[in-house]
Every structure is written in C-alpha cells, then in structure tokens.
Copies of this chain bind each other. A is one copy, B any other.
Amino acid sequence: MSDCDACVVRNRAICSALMPDELAALSKLGRKQMVSRGQTLVWEGDESLVVANVIQGVLKLSVSTQDGREQIVGVVFPSDFIGRPFGKESPYGVTALTDAEVCIFTRTAFDGFAKEHPDLQHKLLQRTLDELDRARQWMMLLGRKTASERIATLLIEISDRLGASGCSPIAPFLEKFELPMDRQQMGDLLGLTIETVSRQLTKLKEAEIIELPDRRSVIIKDRRRLENIATAA
C-alpha cells in the first residue's frame, strides 16, 4: 500500500497529521481492504485486534443484548476512524452498512506508531472528543426526543454528514441523498421499531416536508420545517 498520496481521504483522515515520510512508514503497517455490505469487521466483545480508517462507504457500530435487541451506537463515514486503540476489547461490533473500503492496521502496530507520533495522537484525540460530543447529543435524542423528532434529526444528520464527508462535491448538506441503511437499521439507531420509523416517514411525506422516491432515497423539500421538528422546540 504505497498510494497514500492518491488516497481520497488523505487530507481529512487522521493521516493528515503526518509528514510524507511518516506517512510512508505508516502505510507499510496497513493495507486497504474491501468490506461488503453486511460484513462484520469486528465482533462485539472480541479483543480489539484491528483499527482502520474509512476510505469509502458507511459502517455501523452496534451493541446487542443477550435477547437480541440491538442498538446502533455510532455510524462512521469516509475519513472517520474505526476501532478501539490502546488495549481492551471492543465493546461494540463494526459492520458495513454499504459496500466499503477501509485502510486497516493491526491494533498493536498502530498503537506503537501512534505513541511515537504525538501529532497523530493529537488528531486522534480531537476525533475522539468530537465523537464523544456526537454520542452525547445522540443520548439526548434517545432519552428525551419523540419518534417524530428522532426521525427528523436522523434525516438532518445524514444529510449533513454525507455532505461533509465529501460524498458530494461541495455542499454543506444534501437536499437529496441515499440512506446508507434500511428501515430496521434506522430503528436500531433511533431506539424505535421498524413500524414506527415507517409511520413517521409517511407522516413527513404527507406533510410534504420530504419525498421518498424509493425505499433508499430521500429528498428534503422543506429543510427549515424539518429542522424545527428535529430540534424539539
């Protein structure tokens, strides 16, 4: 793997902290890997053996109860970092929501490299802090928002993150996009059932706030009203 220079996330992933020679050293430790939709990269509770950068695609982090209830606790987009560096087992599983491409490292090799490169660790710290903020915002959603507020928040969030992760040219958010997940996964992310997700989407459609051309596509027709619903005024 020597084409980091050509990597589409070169300037947005944590690698952007590195000088060319450092990058070359890191690239020797990792390799690109394709992950197809539904494939699991890390199992919940397993020892944390690998970490990775997302190059393309979307993956979920999820936790399950013994009786099969699932909660998605994070969604990662291109340029995001995956995995639990510095020891421990992974408290969540990592599974591809869409076909994806990742730049993967063994955890121990990455840990060693990171210890030698404070700038990389700094980037990783900033990302982890951002991720923590996002997780906490989501806790507000799960603990206190109604079903319709949750759905609206999700649509805004996906629109924003697909925009930001450069899956689009330049827009800060997208008016029209493909959902990187099915209804069940939306439910697992929002703490709702598939039926409630479906009903709330139908309501938004009937209120002419969104359109649903097919089961994966969303068009936001009235972003202002959607934001009002999402922020739970």
Contacts and interface: CB of A to CB of B under 8 A. Distances in A.
Interface string A194-233: 0000000000000000000000000000000000000111
A124 to B, nearest CB: 6
B66 A233 contact: yes
Contact of A231 (B65, B129, B133, B135): B65
B67 A140 contact: no
Number of copies: 2
A16 B121 CA distance: 18
Contact of A118 (B63, B66, B69, B121): B121
Contacts of A231: 65-66
Given A118-B121, A144-B191, A232-B67, A135 B137 contact: no
Contact of A143 (B115, B118, B191, B233): B191
A70 interface: yes
A140 B191 CA distance: 8
**Interface size classification for chain A:** 35 or more
Contacts of A179: none
A98 to B, nearest CB: 21
A71 to B, nearest CB: 4
Given A132-B132, A135-B132, A135-B135, A71 B125 contact: no
A115 B118 CA distance: 8
A85 interface: yes
Contacts of A126: 86
